[in-house]
Amino acid sequence: MNKSNIQSLIASIHQELIPQLIVESVHPHNPAQVRHIPAPWQLLGTGNYAAVVYHPEYPDLVVKIYAPGRPGFEEELEVYSRLGSHPAFSECFYAQEGLLVLKRLYGVTLYDCLHKGLRIPPQVIRDIDSALDYARTRGLYPHDVHGKNVMMSEGRGLVVDISDFLHQEHCSKWDNLKKAYYLIYLPIFYPLRLRVPYPLLDRVRKTYRFVNSFAGKVFKFINRLRHRKSLKN
């Protein structure tokens, strides 16, 4: 990455973007809201705590800005520090309190691939698997890896969201997605290029979240019963 471009972008961030950008996170479970963004900056997307913007003159870089009062900046910076440079992940070039300058990843999320009927080859799944294994060798714990957080770019897999990779509790989302890919997607959707409407995708996603949450509560309840029984014995 051209260092002079990065320095020019950083200057623009402090002179033009920060003084005028207004980002709010009203509810932790809803996307952040960008109330105002100065021209020519463009909004690329929002998460629950932050917004991602870019400048047209620096299309290969993005700026992630956390909404005031929202957590996660220090953790995300630590994750990028551990990851270093890897082709399946973004890379952090600059950080200041609540602000990250990152390498832009181009591609289509697997979620959108299903909607558009784009074929997802097995190499994409293998690339993501390999990237997650790499993250584990760096002392990280891949967490919350699902169809909206991974992408396909020219037949290769990318991991977009690494913000929860310090969470040590087990997360089965990626393993479950892989099972669905090999058992359902590859033999049926892949050859037919079936398109899945967004309402149906959202329904499947919400159902999965409910079932997963319910199963987690049942598992915790069973563990508490076992613990009480062991204390009595």
List, in order, residues 6 or more apart from 153 with CB less than 8 Å away. Answer: 105, 106, 107, 108
Amino acid at residue number 6: I
Q: What is the mean pLDDT of residues 190-208?
A: 88
- Predicted local confidence at residue 3, as pLDDT: 82
From residue 71, alpha-carbon distances to 24, 66, 98, 147, 152 in Å are: 13, 8, 9, 24, 29
- Predicted local confidence at residue 211, as pLDDT: 64
- Predicted local confidence at residue 219, as pLDDT: 46
Q: What is the mean pLDDT of residues 13-35?
A: 90
List, in order, residues 6 or more apart from 17 with CB less than 8 Å away. Answer: 37, 38, 41, 53, 55, 63
pLDDT band of 222, cuts 50, 70, 90: low
Q: What is the mean pLDDT of residues 182-188?
A: 96
Which is it for strands 99-103 and 108-109: parallel, antiparallel or unpaired? unpaired
- Predicted local confidence at residue 214, as pLDDT: 44
DSSP H or E run through 96: strand 92-96
The pTM for the full model equals: 0.84
Q: List the beta bridge partners of residue 66.
A: 50
